């Protein structure tokens, strides 16, 4: 299912493109070796040019657990107790009883092609499924990591692989529960896993490897202190302050709130991405902004799980950086995440256009901030500029939602006014991986996914 190699030298022409300098019209991009090697504006379309529509830079998805895609729609019934995050997690544990390497790879590949179809050209995969369903290490410790890399190769998406360190069931180094047996490793084994991840992604174009301490619940302070050194130049991601119960448990353990504890005890800087950070005080979100770290917001999953609302508007206007992640992958798309991010702020603040700034519309400000924060958090620069990977998302502006639109109104109409499917084509490293809104390998990847689901759910 790996994509056939395509000729790398081509020219693409667009009626408009969003470059680091703003909107440009009649843009021709020359692509060679998977990179943008030339950019002309005010260019007439040539006979050999491919493309059309409006070109946007591909965005990085800063947080994904791809295998959870297969659980979408299966966790919406009420449990015997109050139906919150904790009952959802119990369902995930049961799901993990039957998913082996083949099933995980098949589910991951489907999630990855849907990310490309939704406008993400890179995924930061927060990978914690290390052991077999019985909880034993695979003969190759990086068995599942290798499956994720294979899925990325099949889909053609750029991969930032974040092997997760997970050792405890709760604050204070509590021993792991039976439900967590597939996630657990010790520090020596984890260091070995990280180096195996570097080796197995060596052939993937533009791959990045970082590390992810799972959370302050799952990692002791002593373990957390050891992990940044393993990241090398790569990013460091951690779940933090997603649930009010986590905040209460952290205070009971340490006297501090989770983000407060992290900022005090860990070397949080521009390499770090704090996933969720939903429940923060003003001192905490100002602390994150001051350190230059990225907050990884996952609006659809946070809404699905009933987590709460991060104070994004205040944080943004204080210079805070954010990226967006699809997390549980219950629904996948750049526009969908940005729309819900803005709408949640409007509902909480009872105001309109709260994420816009003086120079940019809401959609443009959201998109460009998610682009920059995503690139930082995923450890890979992007943008429609000479030298960058040719990762290009093309909006099909023949759709009626774009009639009469230009400039920022194109982004606003995509995010707030267009039905799904406005992404026409996607180029990743100079190859067209989505054409007419559909991934070029979708049929084969869907077939494999259906077989995997029969095994997992049958
Ligand atoms: Zn997560």
Distance 85 CA to ligand 1 centre (A): 12
Q: Tell me the C-alpha distance between 266 and 253, whole Å.
A: 17
Encode 98-155 in three state secondary structure.
CCCHHHHHHHHHHHHHHHHHCCEEEEEEEECCCECCCCCECCCCCHHHHHHHHHHHHH
Per-residue pLDDT tens, the chain, 458 aa: give them: 444 444 448 999 999 999 999 999 999 999 999 999 999 999 999 999 998 999 999 999 999 999 999 988 887 877 666 655 666 676 677 678 889 999 999 999 999 999 999 999 999 999 999 999 999 999 999 999 999 999 999 999 999 999 999 999 999 999 998 888 999 999 999 999 999 999 999 999 999 999 999 999 999 999 999 999 999 999 999 999 999 999 999 999 999 999 999 999 999 999 999 999 999 999 999 999 999 999 999 999 999 989 999 999 999 999 999 999 999 999 999 999 999 999 999 999 999 988 888 899 999 999 999 999 999 999 999 899 999 999 999 999 999 999 999 999 999 999 999 988 799 999 999 999 999 999 999 999 999 999 999 988 87
Per-residue confidence (pLDDT) for residue 6, from 0 to 100:
44
Contacts of 195 (CB under 8 A, 6+ apart): none
pLDDT > 90: percent of the chain: 87
Q: How far is the CA of 328 from the centre of ligand 1 (A)?
A: 7
Which pLDDT belongs to residue 131?
A: 94
Q: Which residue has the tokens 């904790």?
A: 86
Q: Does domain 59-378 have CATH number 3.30.70.1400?
A: no
What whole-number distance in Å separates Cα of residue 172 and Cα of residue 187? Answer: 17
Give the pLDDT confidence score for residue 80 in this predicted structure: 65
Give CA–CA dist 449/105, Å, rounded. 9
- Other Cβ atoms less than 10 A from the Cβ of 407: the count is 14
Helix (H) or strand (E) holding 54: strand 54-57
Q: Which of 327, 391, 396, 412 is catalytic?
A: 327
Centroid of ligand 1 to alpha carbon of 181 (angstroms): 17
Q: Global pTM?
A: 0.96
| d(CA 239, ligand 1 centre) in Å | 6
Domain with CATH 3.20.20.140 in the chain: 59-378
Strand runs labelled E in 258-404:
272-276, 294-297, 321-324, 392-395
- What's the 241 CA to ligand 1 centre distance in angstroms? 11
* CB-based contacts of 336, cutoff 8 Å, min separation 6: 118, 300, 420
Active-site residue, from 239, 276, 279, 439: 276
Cα–Cα distance between 163 and 184 in angstroms, integer? 12
Instruction: Give pLDDT, residue 76.
Output: 80
What does the pLDDT read at residue 9? 82
Distances (CA, A) of 429 to 9, 37, 92, 198: 11, 12, 34, 20
| The predicted structure's pLDDT at residue 86 | 63
Q: Could you tell me the distance, in angstroms and rounded to a whole number, from the CA of residue 92 to the centre of ligand 1? A: 12
CA distance 11 to 45: 10
Taking a C-beta distance cutoff of 8 angstroms, is the pair 55, 394 a contact?
Answer: yes
SS (H, E, C) 60-109: EEEEECHHHHHHCCCCCCCCCCCCCHHHHHHHHHHHCCCCCHHHHHHHHH
Active site residue 65: no
Distance CA 160, CA 217 (A): 24
The whole-number pLDDT of residue 75 equals 79
Distance 293 CA to ligand 1 centre (A): 17
Residue 130, both tokens: 């290390």
Q: What is the C-alpha R_g of the chain?
A: 21
Give the integer Cα–Cα distance in Å for 368 and 57. Answer: 9
126 alpha carbon to ligand 1 midpoint, in Å? 7
Whole-number pLDDT of residue 85:
61
**How many whole angstroms separate alpha carbon 425 and alpha carbon 404?**
21
What Å distances lie between residue 14 and 173, 379, 393, CA to CA?
A: 55, 28, 11
Q: What is the CATH number of domain 10-56+387-442?
A: 2.30.40.10
- 3-class secondary structure, 382: coil
Report the distance separating Cα 265 and Cα 97, nearest Å.
Answer: 36
Q: What is the pLDDT of residue 3?
A: 46
Give the per-residue pLDDT at 98: 85
CA geometry: angle at 115 spanning 434 and 9, to 5°? 40
pLDDT of residue 350: 93
279 annotated active-site? no
């Amino acid at each position: 299912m790996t994509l056939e190699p395509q000729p790398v030298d081509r020219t693409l022409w667009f009626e408009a493109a969003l470059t680091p300098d703003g909107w440009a019209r009649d843009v021709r991009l020359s692509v060679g070796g998977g990179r943008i090697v030339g950019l002309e504006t005010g260019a007439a379309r040539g006979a050999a040019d491919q493309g059309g529509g409006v070109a946007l830079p591909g965005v990085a998805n800063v947080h994904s657990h791809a295998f959870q895609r297969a659980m979408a729609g299966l966790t919406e019934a009420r449990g015997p107790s109050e139906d919150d995050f904790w009952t959802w997690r119990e369902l995930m544990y049961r799901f993990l009883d039957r998913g082996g390497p083949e099933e995980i790879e098949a589910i991951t590949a489907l999630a990855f092609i849907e990310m490309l179809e939704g406008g993400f050209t890179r995924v930061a995969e927060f990978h914690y499924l290390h052991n077999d369903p019985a909880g034993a290490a695979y003969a190759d410790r990086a068995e599942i990591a290798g499956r994720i890399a294979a899925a990325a190769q099949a889909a053609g998406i750029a991969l930032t692989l974040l092997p997760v360190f997970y050792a405890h069931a709760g604050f204070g180094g509590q021993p792991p529960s039976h439900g967590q047996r597939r996630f657990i490793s010790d520090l020596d084994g984890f260091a070995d896993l990280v180096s195996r991840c570097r080796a197995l992604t060596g052939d993937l174009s533009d791959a990045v490897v970082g590390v992810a301490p799972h959370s302050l619940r799952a990692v002791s302070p002593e373990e957390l202190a050891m992990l940044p050194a393993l990241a090398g130049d790569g990013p460091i991601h951690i779940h933090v302050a997603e649930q009010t119960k986590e905040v209460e448990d952290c205070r009971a353990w340490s006297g501090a709130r989770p983000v407060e504890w992290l900022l005090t005890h860990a070397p949080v800087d521009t390499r770090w991405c704090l996933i969720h950070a939903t429940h923060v005080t003003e001192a905490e979100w100002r602390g994150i902004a001051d350190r230059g770290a990225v907050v990884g917001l996952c609006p659809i999953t946070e809404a699905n799980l009933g987590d709460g609302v991060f104070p994004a508007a205040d944080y943004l206007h204080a210079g805070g950086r954010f990226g967006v992640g699809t997390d549980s992958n219950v629904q996948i798309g750049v526009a969908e995440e940005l729309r819900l991010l803005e709408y949640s702020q409007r509902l909480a603040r009872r105001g309109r256009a709260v994420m816009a700034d003086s120079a940019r519309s809401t959609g443009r400000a959201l998109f460009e901030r998610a682009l920059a924060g995503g690139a930082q958090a995923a450890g890979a620069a992007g943008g429609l500029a000479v030298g960058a990977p040719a990762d290009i998302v093309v909006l099909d502006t023949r759709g009626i939602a774009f009639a009469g639109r230009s400039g920022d109104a194109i982004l606003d109409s995509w995010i707030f006014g267009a039905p799904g499917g406005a992404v026409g084509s996607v180029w990743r490293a100079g190859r067209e991986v989505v054409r007419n809104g559909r991934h070029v390998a979708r049929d084969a990847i869907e077939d494999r996914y259906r077989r995997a689901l029969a095994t997992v759910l049958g």
